[in-house]
Structure 1
């Protein structure tokens, strides 16, 4: 048995803001992927994955939802027969490892599932997102459902608000100097503690004001610029966003990268932002000149995501 492939995702813009109804833009990232497989004798990562699936099964059996039900007998049977999720997606890196797993389980075991081939109306997209949110909450405590949705559809998704999401197109890549890249912090980040920090900060009126008057405005401007291909304006807005995140989201930025983050803003060689919830994993970078950014960040591992 080998299931279809489900890819990693990158939330280009909107981390934390989407919890509070600002815009977001997520794109599939095909460098990393996962699929359901089976083996008789499980060892190492495959054994750990099989045990995790058994726990997930217990959660899904007790999930009460009007929107989705599962063929739990087949799921249990497959887990007992050595099913595991074979994945190259790094865990705790903000690129949707649990999202790809959730998408694969929904695809194989959901009754009356909404398929990728249907006319995906806004209602269907919202139903999928709500279903995935319920499923992925097993892994994170609270999930927007966006990661599994992105992995399941393998399309860029524009979040206008909680109740308004749509599949979208992004400008095709060009062989220019500019790039979006991933910077490897070489630390694992855990989603739940970071979200808890954010929720505590939300109790502060000044933080809420910053979120609506600065963070959300810069995020929305970045998304509009990116989708319309306004590259010059995009970099101006990404710089503003990078500054706001550095000032207000410091606990989510690994301490070892505070100076690297500031250096980008000061030199304009690159601008950094959170990739997912932060706390480790990948940091997302934007640069007008990828060669210059590589030289400036020569001590770190970079991975190319998109070229301008």
Structure 2
């Protein structure tokens, strides 16, 4: 059986904010990838993944019964393949905010959805929104509540600009500068993050008026500005807004930042050597960093692994 490869993603801007209609920008990250696979002699990881796919298949069967107009799958073939030992073979680290479940969802849709929307057709806004809706329902199996963006990014392998909940488009982002010192990087926290509890905490916080006001007046405002600056290639304004955003996150999203990184986060803001922000829901996994001078950032963060994902 031949299966397609699907890549990880990085949500540059918009984590949590897109739940409340902020802008967002998601880019594919081809360093990590995954594909469905069948092995003669599966290892423990493969067996675990296969069991998880079994539960996922049951969930998808229920989903198509509950929402027949939304999506239909070839459940029989899916279950038959799972019984042959099919699993998701992936280098994408789980709980790291780079879309491990998104790539899995994209691969299942690609292989087993009936009347699927393909990446080869003219992707109108309606088709993108339909895909996003389908993927949100599918990925909810893993996270409790999903925007559907991770699988969408993985499926299309294109940058996606989120203007609002109902307005998304495949986007061209400014090309990278080979000579530039500015960079976006991933910082490995060395621990796994759990998405569902943190999203639940965020939803609880939204019940407080003060938190909602901060979100609208500060978090969403700076997130939107960062997206606009990035798309325009206005690096000076971008770093001014990222600094503000980093500050807002440190002040208001502390539970989403692993404790041992609180000081490091503040040092970046104080020195200007780098600015940190959440990568996905936080709580561990990767932390996203922005710097105007990657050498400075490497020196300041010399005890940590940095992976550069984009250069200015």
Partner residue, 1:128: 131
Number of residue pairs the alignment of both structures matches: 308
Aligned to 1:62, the other structure's residue is in SS state helix
1:2 deviates by 3.5
Equivalent runs, 1:215-254 vs 2, <5 Å = 215-254=219-258
- Taking the aligned partners of 1:67 and 1:93, their CA distance within structure 2 comes to 30
- Taking the aligned partners of 1:17 and 1:185, their CA distance within structure 2 comes to 22
**Contact map agreement 1:9 1:27 (CA 8 A) in 2:** yes
Partner residue, 1:181: 185
Partner residue, 1:150: 153
Which consecutive unaligned segments of at least 5 residues does structure 2 have?
Answer: none
**Contact map agreement 1:2 1:35 (CA 8 A) in 2:** no
Choose which of 270, 287, 303 in structure 2 pairs with 1:299. 303
Q: TM-score, normalised by structure 1?
A: 0.99
Aligned to 2:123, the other structure's residue is in SS state coil
Partner residue, 2:12: 12
1:40 deviates by 2.6
List 4+ stretches of structure 1 deviating above 4 A.
none
Partner residue, 1:260: 264
1:173 deviates by 0.5
- Taking the aligned partners of 2:48 and 2:273, their CA distance within structure 1 comes to 41
**Contact map agreement 1:2 1:38 (CA 8 A) in 2:** no
- Taking the aligned partners of 2:203 and 2:259, their CA distance within structure 1 comes to 21
1:43 deviates by 1.9
2:212 paired with 1:208: yes
- Taking the aligned partners of 1:34 and 1:43, their CA distance within structure 2 comes to 16
Partner residue, 2:26: 26
Which consecutive unaligned segments of at least 5 residues does structure 1 have?
Answer: none
- Taking the aligned partners of 1:263 and 1:217, their CA distance within structure 2 comes to 23
